[in-house]
Amino acid sequence: MSDVPKTHPRYLSLTLRDKIVAGVEQGITSIHGLMAHGRGEAFDYLIGETTQPFAIEAIHAAAAMLCLAEHPVISVNGNVAALAPEALIELGQVLNAPLEVNIFHTETGREQKIRAYLLKHGASDVLMPTTEARLSFIDSNRKFVHPDGIFKADVVFVPLEDGDRCEALRKMGKAVVTVDLNPMSRTAKQASITIVDNVVRALPLLCDEIRNFNDSTAQDTLKKYSNAAVLQKALQHISRSGNGN
Ligand code: ATP
Ligand code: MG
């Protein structure tokens, strides 16, 4: 890690950069992931680098959807593995849901490296892509999935997702919960629930919500939830911050 002093005004942001760079150096994160991270940083700047009420609303609904799911699965890519391995593993534990590696760029054994990294951080098991099960409506490497994981899932948690696969999962009738700082991305628009927040802030909050899950109000929460309305609130927030408010 670089020597960023804690007093630096951008300390947290720079720490996350260090984690992504370390991820690339360890072969966990794709070099393309640096660009995805940069895009996320820009949107994080615009939302104020804190969890906003529209994210809290989405986290509340996401907890309900994931807890009511019959077979929830957590999809892991190279960025989220580098940024928040412990929180991902904790989410799997509180939900009793498997983690499954699913990435776009499969250079030099990256899938295996992500798996090993998660196991090293305490994951009990990590599902891997197979050729036995494939997603429809998608041509990239991300179509290869595990038959007992994403293939079977009714709800898939896919932070920092690519729009193509989000669309394919939805077309296959699966519900998608995502975390995406860009409320305008195709993923954000197509997901069932979009948490517009940094994944490092959102994951611990989501774990807390799941721990405090209340079965009697969950259906009602989901009935009232509108992802389009939440994305609209995020966009309004961004445009207000542009006006200095
Ligand atoms: P889409 O394919 O959905 O239209 P995209 O092509 O613009 O999106 P991708 O590279 O496919 O973007 O996915 C990366 C997404 O992840 C971006 O929308 C980016 O804002 C978001 N992102 C990057 N880092 C983070 C982070 N730490 N927390 C949450 N979201 C992030
Ligand atoms: Mg994309």
Which of 37, 182, 197 for mutating ligand 1's site (highest number of atoms within 8 Å of CB)?
182
Q: Which helix (H) or strand (E) holds 74?
A: strand 72-76
DSSP conformation class of 140? S
Between CA 182 and CA 127 the distance in angstroms is: 28
For residue 214, the SS3 value is coil
Q: Find all residues with CB under 8 Å of 31, minimum gap 6, and list them.
A: 24
39 lines ligand 1 (CB under 6 A): yes
Q: Given ligand 1 and candidates 181, 193, 205, 231, which is best to mutate, with the most ligand atoms within 8 Å of its CB?
A: 181
What is d(CA 102, CA 58) in angstroms, rounded to the nearest whole number?
A: 24
Quick one: tokens of 207?
């774990």
Q: What is the pLDDT of residue 5?
A: 83
Q: How many CA atoms lie within 13 A of 119 on its CB side?
A: 11
Helix axes 199-211, 85-95, angle to 10 degrees: 20
pTM for this prediction: 0.95
The ligand with the least distance to the CA atom of 186 is 1
Please tell me the predicted confidence (pLDDT) of residue 243.
Answer: 60
- What pLDDT is attached to residue 23? 97
pLDDT at 4 (0 to 100): 79
H helices of the chain, in order, are 11-25, 32-47, 53-68, 78-83, 85-95, 110-120, 163-171, 186-190, 199-211, 215-224, 227-242
What spacing in Å lies between the alpha carbon of 220 and ligand 2's midpoint? 32
Helices 227-242 & 32-47 angle (0-180, nearest 10)? 70
pLDDT confidence of residue 9:
80
- Mean pLDDT in order along the chain per 10 residues (245 residues): 79 92 96 96 95 98 98 97 98 97 85 97 95 91 93 97 91 97 97 98 98 91 97 96 63
In this predicted structure, what is the pLDDT of residue 242? 64
User: What pLDDT score was predicted for residue 42?
Assistant: 96
Q: Is the CB of residue 142 below 6 angstroms from any atom belonging to ligand 1? A: no
Strands 133-134 and 144-145: antiparallel
Q: How many CB atoms lie within 10 A of CB 200?
A: 17
- b or e along 216-229 (b: 16 or more beta carbons within 10 Å of the residue's beta carbon)? eebeebbeebebee
- Report the pLDDT value the prediction gives residue 1, as an integer from 0 to 100: 59
Residue-level pLDDT at 37:
97
Q: Which of 93, 96, 86, 92 is nearest to 117 (CA)?
A: 86
Q: Give the mutation target among 24, 35, 164, 187 for probing the ligand 1 site: most ligand atoms within 8 A of CB.
A: 187
